[in-house]
Amino acid sequence: MSYSMIINGVATEAADHFDVPNPATGEVVAAAPIASPDQIAAAVDAARAAQPGWAARSSEERAAMVMACAELFEANAASLAKLITEEQGKPLSGPGSNFEMQAVIGWTQVPASLDLEPEVVFEDETRRDELHYGPLGVVVAIAPWNWPAMIAIWQIVPSIRMGNTVVIKPSEYTPLSTLEIVRLMNEVLPPGVVNSVSGAGEVGAALTTNPGVDKIMFTGSAATGQKVAAAASDSLARVTLELGGNDAAIILDDVNPGEIAEALFWGTFINMGQTCACAKRLYVHESIHDELVDALAGIATAMPMGDGLDESNVIGPVQNVPQLNIVKDLVADAKATGGTIVCGGEEPGGPGNFFPLTIVTGLDNGSRLVDEEQFGPVVPVIKYTEVEEALAKANALDVGLGASVWSSDPARAAVIAGRMEAGTVWINSHGQIHPMSPFGGAKASGIGLEFGVEGLKAVCQPKVISFTKQPG
């Protein structure tokens, strides 16, 4: 089967294609089109032409159409989840592709149910100043491969809800579910409101340098984010950058290791660790270190790993070979520099990009596995004595997407949470994002916010209308 791009409501083929392999088997799932420069320009032109008409519709009408998209996602959730498993690798079961489809539906319904009313920001006897929010125009969305469908929705839905039109480019590793989602949305939306173009980085670069673009929503690595920001500096297009992280979790001495182990495990290894806001460095107090490591390793080794289409598996492969190589390299470095492999650590062999869940102790800041984002199924556990030392190490890196504090004393945890340098700090969980709570990075983890009311503002042009009460 081959998948088409949708440009101006029309299924559009390309002259060239690339194969999308299944990371669990290496077999080709399907071919995806490579957008030509003319097709990329045509997609932006279609979005530009459709935008005034889309923005002119009432807010209620746009909300109703977005809700209708959510119904379509619900009706097609099973087939989309299967496609996500085939191209991305995450299993159907556990917090996998069925879970991702529930997020797709929820993150479509919530922005549809929100709106931005004008706010009176100042009033006295002489004037009343109102802050209004209108669309920016054409939004380009560029997505990564880890949660392809969910992140596409995070980018598309708030944008169209507020009257913008969109051109989305999915990752070249996982284009199929996004092409299918855009096809479904076009059953409901007017032509040109949501367009898709697929291909590798050059397609993204061509979109970000197109002068007809008003806003770029980018989710991916910091290195590409810097290129996107540089491209946007020419046109002064607005940017939201959701970039990499290396989230620290600080586990205090007052936790019961057995009670927190499962939540900490999933906060670390959801999607095989290929999640922007996974716990990627665990700082554990020395008094509970060994017990917690044993509990985590017990869970990790009991989790069935294999092809995610088999519903008995809850752990899948690494999504792509370059990412698998990063994980292998970091594990090799950890072994060579004195780390202890508590579980995992060796490739199983056989087809697919499988690597077992791996826990490493005995490392510290300064080790590559601690300092670099692994974005895969390996985590370092760092023993600490003083909480000030853990906090200093947690804050030492130049990234700060998420973070967490684990304690039986919420007040004590809250004080530490207040001092962690991150866009979100969870207490007694990690990565529990919510469509009403703004999400974004501190430091080099990004610029701007997604989700909730703040996410709607991020795709709007604010405008003050100032009424004079006493002319002259």
Q: Is 14 one of the binding residues for ligand NAD (CB under 6 A)?
A: no
For residues 270 and 288, which CB has a smaller minimum distance to ligand NAD in the complex? 270
Binding residue for ligand NAD (CB under 6 A) from 224, 240, 353, 358? 224
In sequence order, the 6+-apart residues with CB closer than 8 A to the CB of 231 are 205, 208, 209, 216
- Give kind and range of the element (H or E) at residue 411: helix 410-419
- Residue 20 burial class via C-beta count within 10 angstroms: exposed 0-12, middle 13-18, buried 19 and up: buried
Stretch that binds ligand NAD, among 88-96, 196-204, 452-460, 464-472 (CB under 6 A): 196-204
Report DSSP letters for 197-210, one per residue: ---SHHHHHHHHT-
Least gap, CB of 411 to ligand NAD (angstroms):
29
446 contributes a contact to ligand NAD by CB under 6 A = yes
Of 104-112, 185-193, 220-228, 301-309, which segment contacts ligand NAD by CB under 6 A?
Answer: 220-228
Please count the residues of this chain forming the interface with ligand NAD, following the rule CB under 6 A.
30
Q: Out of 87, 242, 373, 421, which one is annotated catalytic?
A: 242
Hey, which residues between 353 and 382 contact ligand NAD (CB under 6 A)?
373, 375
Q: Which of 77, 105, 205, 453 contacts ligand NAD by CB under 6 A?
A: 205
Query: What are phi and psi for residue 430, nearest 5 degrees?
Result: -150, 130
Among residues 6, 84, 142, 420, the one that binds ligand NAD under rule CB under 6 A:
142
Q: Which residue number, 107 or 145, has a Cβ lying nearer to ligand NAD?
A: 145
Residue 41: CB atoms within 10 Å: 16
100 binds ligand NAD (CB under 6 A): no
Query: Known catalytic residue: 278?
Result: no
* Using rule CB under 6 A, residue 180 touches ligand NAD: no
Task: Characterize 86-97 residue by residue with b for buried, 16 or more Cβ atoms within 10 angstroms of its Cβ, and e for exposed.
Answer: bbbbbbbbbbbb
Site membership for ligand NAD, residue 5 (CB under 6 A): no
Q: How many CA atoms lie less than 13 Å away from 181 in the CB half-sphere?
A: 36
Question: Which residue is listed with tokens 């939201």?
Answer: 240
- Given 69, 276, 278, 460, the catalytic residue: 276
**DSSP three-state, residue 401:** coil
* Contact partners, residue 256, CB within 8 Å, separation at least 6: 408
**Residue 319: which residues within 8 A CB-CB, separation 6 or more?**
23, 88, 89, 145, 146, 173, 174, 272, 274, 353
CB atoms within 10 A of CB 118: 12
- With 0-12 CB in 10 A as exposed, 13-18 as middle and 19+ as buried, what is 330? buried
Would you say 228 or 390 has its CB closer to ligand NAD?
Answer: 228
**What residue type is assigned to position 27 of the chain?**
E
Decide if 242 is catalytic: yes
By the rule CB under 6 A, 172 interacts with ligand NAD? yes
Q: What tokens were used for 383?
A: 């023993």
SS3 151: helix
Write the single-letter amino acid at 433.
I
Q: 228 vs 250, which CB is nearer to ligand NAD? A: 228
CB environment 59-68: b (16+ within 10 A), e (fewer) = eeebbebbee
Q: Pick one of 131, 200, 263, 447: the residue that binds ligand NAD (CB under 6 A).
A: 200
Interface region with ligand NAD, contact rule CB under 6 A, candidates 201-209, 252-260, 283-291, 356-364: 201-209
**What is the closest distance, in whole angstroms, from the C-beta atom of residue 208 to ligand NAD in the complex?**
5
Least spacing, CB of residue 325 vs ligand NAD, in Å: 13
One of 109, 146, 195, 428 touching ligand NAD (CB under 6 A): 146
Binding segment toward ligand NAD, per CB under 6 A, in 39-47, 89-97, 145-153, 295-303: 145-153
Residue 169 binds to ligand NAD (criterion: CB under 6 A): yes
Ranges within 229-258 binding ligand NAD (CB under 6 A): 242-245
Q: Which residues lie near ligand NAD (CB under 6 A)?
A: 142-146, 151, 169, 171-172, 200-201, 204-205, 208, 219-221, 224, 227-228, 242-245, 276, 373, 375, 401, 441, 446
Annotated catalytic residues are 242, 276
